[in-house]
A = this chain, B = another copy of it.
Amino acid sequence: MAPRPDVSTERRAQIIEAALTCFTRKGYVNTTMDDIVAESGLSKGAIYWYFKSKDDLFEAAANSVLERVAEKSLTAIQACETSTERLRVGAQSMVEVCREIEGYFGLVIEFWTQNERGEKAISFWAEMIAQYRRGIKAIFDMGVRTGEFKPVDTDALAWMIMAAYDGLAAYHMMMPDIDVDKTSEGFIEALLKGLEADGEPE
């Protein structure tokens, strides 16, 4: 008698998928467990069999998104030669993230605003940001070291680039008409060349 195949992995994935659909559609608080039950096609009990609470399910769902996102963009960057190229490709990859994460961004912020400065959520999220930021900073540091870039404040730049693309993601979520590709490109080019005219301003 063959043992039953282990369905727990796919069940978890199935539930997370449903949860993500609901969460991004209505936000964390406005999503009810019944919504997720309906979306998943499973029963209430099944969901509580795999996740011990709504919070727990959210955390798993959020993690799953972040993992998907982080993996993709970091690999793209490492295939480039020059720092300039890396910056451009990194920006491009972040633009794609903007599109993919759709409602996720607001979701995480919403979750974060819960729980009177919820320690749990913050560490998880801060960790994610830190990891990403290291990647960005490395690009600038390398560019400065090779002489490709001017000796800029790479810490500050890494923060602001991260912030700019997170902000762009938020805007895109609110105003889908923004041409994120063109916006990102114009920004990166200006940043590369500098704003100040070379010649003598009158």
Residue picked from A116, A150, A156, A189, most chain B C-beta under 10 Å: A156
Contacts of A162 in B (CB 8 A): 167, 171
Check A190–B110 contact: CB distance below 8 A: no
| A interface residues, tally (CB under 8 Å) | 67
Q: Indicate with 1 or 0, residue by residue over A102-120, a CB within 8 angstroms of chain B CB atoms.
A: 0100110110111110000
8 Å CB contact of A153 from B147, B174, B190, B192: B190
Check A201–B148 contact: CB distance below 8 A: yes
Check A183–B155 contact: CB distance below 8 A: yes
| A29 CB within 8 Å of chain B | yes
Check B196–A183 contact: CB distance below 8 A: no
Check A168–B159 contact: CB distance below 8 A: yes
Q: How far is the CA of A115 from the CA of B106 in the complex (A)?
A: 13
8 Å CB contact of A155 from B152, B163, B186: B186
| A142 CB within 8 Å of chain B | no
24 contacts between A and B (CB under 8 A): A25-B116, A26-B114, A26-B115, A27-B113, A106-B112, A122-B174, A147-B197, A150-B194, A152-B190, A153-B185, A153-B187, A153-B190, A156-B183, A156-B187, A157-B190, A160-B168, A160-B183, A160-B186, A162-B167, A163-B167, A163-B170, A167-B167, A192-B195, A192-B196
Contacts of A167 in B (CB 8 A): 160, 162-167, 170
8 Å CB contact of A129 from B103, B171, B201: B171
Check A113–B107 contact: CB distance below 8 A: yes
Check B153–A186 contact: CB distance below 8 A: yes
For A158, the closest partner residue in chain B by CB is B183
Q: How far is the CA of A113 from the CA of B162 in the complex (A)?
A: 22
Contacts of A164 in B (CB 8 A): 160-161, 163-164, 167
Check A195–B150 contact: CB distance below 8 A: yes
Within 8 A of B (CB), among A114-161: 114-116, 122, 125-126, 129, 143, 146-150, 152-153, 155-157, 159-161
